[in-house]
Structure 1
């Protein structure tokens, strides 16, 4: 297992998990697979399946290595942000094995949600929660939440970008052959169906309960209602950029090992 989760619940403020990397080598291999376009394979492994390793071509490997590499003179934030989205996606599957969770895009420049998870009432076939992800790899977590995350969540709460949300939901529901998308999304206009999930890197100042309360202060004012609408996920990491580079190097090495000769 690559990531272990420890749940927390902070009264009405929010609930969620803290993450600890259980096996960095396994994590790097999973990131490599997602970079290769094999997120479905990783998803099935996370759900407990025992699968043979799929073949990898030289062209797929070249694209994955490009995704995992910061070019000379470029800022690492885009690459690191994408890798953190993959971590967030893995953690979401650890929390809900087999869940309906959108796979990460294999593009640093993708615009839109960082992630989306749907919860269904299987009896009625309707969506009971559309969980909108914001994933942030940052050295300034509280400022990032205030400046970048809260405005996004406020916009969704006010009904902005509802058309984008519906389109994303339909695309994700298309992967579920036993679900009628038209029935599933019929109650998405109700605000309480929109849930939120912040995943963010933290340092020592926000790694304990008191720190998390400071970090997520105001969450219950941005998205009102029961705490199940507000999820918070934290990953405590020292030397964030160096750690990201180390994992990227391991992921690149994993890609290179998987290339099959003469494919």
Structure 2
């Protein structure tokens, strides 16, 4: 597979470090390109290593995708340095959500998942996954993901991620969660929405996943890992270790690394569509 997960000891959560396989990076780029093009079935075909199908692009989707990804240069005189910086931050966050979607799909191959966001800085859940029992009649787990790309991830986690998870646990976003659940369950035949997503099911089945793209400079010089990024996870989300998952994808420099990856995705998008 194009991206691996190495389990790292942590007292806070089930934690892993991700690594993009340089020999299979092209596969990951192709999957992400199809996801940006809203061709999730083709993305799944690439994961399954079967031939993709030609899909005629809808409207200006190709141009829209390229525009979202191309934040490469500070030479654009129409934008201030601050505007360019913010554009890169939003682009990187959305790009990492797509990469994280791939990791989730590889980890939970039979899960029922929401697609990655289309809008940058979207206020919805970064990832939402249902795992059903073998008969596909009962929800066994509901996984809610927070995906962040940051050069300073610890501050972002403590100031934004933990408060957002607490809001969910306190019930402040139950209407949003219900909307996501109903939408996903509509695509699964034979599941009774009423019995599948009742209060007891929600409280027993919910899981939380926090994943970060960052730089190698954040790696702890003593432990040699990133697991300290997750400090406070168990205080925010109590219960069994299985209810908390954390992950990190490290680049030598997170902005340069995601910039280079975005360029590769743009090239693949153009190749797919003969641009």
TM-score of the two chains, using structure 1 as the length reference: 0.89
In 2 relative to 1, CA 255–213 (structure 1 residues): closer, same or farther, beyond 3 Å? closer
Which runs of 5 or more structure 2 residues have no equivalent in the other structure? Answer: none
Q: How does 1:69-148 map to 2 (within 5 A)?
A: 69-70=70-71, 72=76, 73=79, 74=84, 75=86, 76-123=88-135, 125-148=137-160
Once residues 91 and 165 of structure 2 are traced to their aligned partners in structure 1, the CA distance between those partners, rounded to angstroms, is 24
Deviation at 1:256, TM superposition (A): 1.2
Write out per-residue CA displacement over residues 217-259 of structure 1, whole angstroms, 9 at most, x where no aligned residue: 1111110010011100111111111111111111111111122
Tell me if structure 1 keeps the 8 A contact 2:151–2:255: no
User: Is 2:219 the counterpart of 1:206?
Assistant: yes
Once residues 188 and 67 of structure 1 are traced to their aligned partners in structure 2, the CA distance between those partners, rounded to angstroms, is 41
In 2 relative to 1, CA 257–210 (structure 1 residues): closer, same or farther, beyond 3 Å? closer
Tell me the number of residue pairs that the alignment of Structure 1 and Structure 2 aligns: 259
Deviation at 1:6, TM superposition (A): 1.9
Tell me if structure 2 keeps the 8 A contact 1:219–1:230: yes
Q: What residue in structure 1 maps to residue 46 of structure 2?
A: 45
Once residues 101 and 151 of structure 1 are traced to their aligned partners in structure 2, the CA distance between those partners, rounded to angstroms, is 24
Q: What residue in structure 2 maps to residue 28 of structure 1?
A: 29
Deviation at 1:64, TM superposition (A): 1.7
Q: What residue in structure 1 maps to residue 172 of structure 2?
A: 160
Write out per-residue CA displacement over residues 75-125 of structure 1, whole angstroms, 9 at most, x where no aligned residue: 201111100000100000111123212110222143210111112234582
- Give the secondary-structure state (helix, strand or coil) at the position aligned to 2:15: strand
Q: What residue in structure 2 maps to residue 17 of structure 1?
A: 16
Once residues 121 and 130 of structure 1 are traced to their aligned partners in structure 2, the CA distance between those partners, rounded to angstroms, is 12
Deviation at 1:206, TM superposition (A): 3.1
TM-score of the two chains, using structure 2 as the length reference: 0.85
Deviation at 1:204, TM superposition (A): 4.1
In 2 relative to 1, CA 51–183 (structure 1 residues): closer, same or farther, beyond 3 Å? farther
Tell me if structure 1 keeps the 8 A contact 2:129–2:142: yes
Q: What residue in structure 1 maps to residue 7 of structure 2?
A: 7
- Give the secondary-structure state (helix, strand or coil) at the position aligned to 2:44: helix
Once residues 17 and 104 of structure 1 are traced to their aligned partners in structure 2, the CA distance between those partners, rounded to angstroms, is 21
* Equivalent of 1:239 in 253, 266, 272: 253
Deviation at 1:139, TM superposition (A): 0.7
In 2 relative to 1, CA 178–260 (structure 1 residues): closer, same or farther, beyond 3 Å? farther
Once residues 133 and 220 of structure 2 are traced to their aligned partners in structure 1, the CA distance between those partners, rounded to angstroms, is 35
Higher mean C-alpha deviation, range 214-223 or range 56-65: 56-65
Which runs of 5 or more structure 1 residues have no equivalent in the other structure? Answer: none
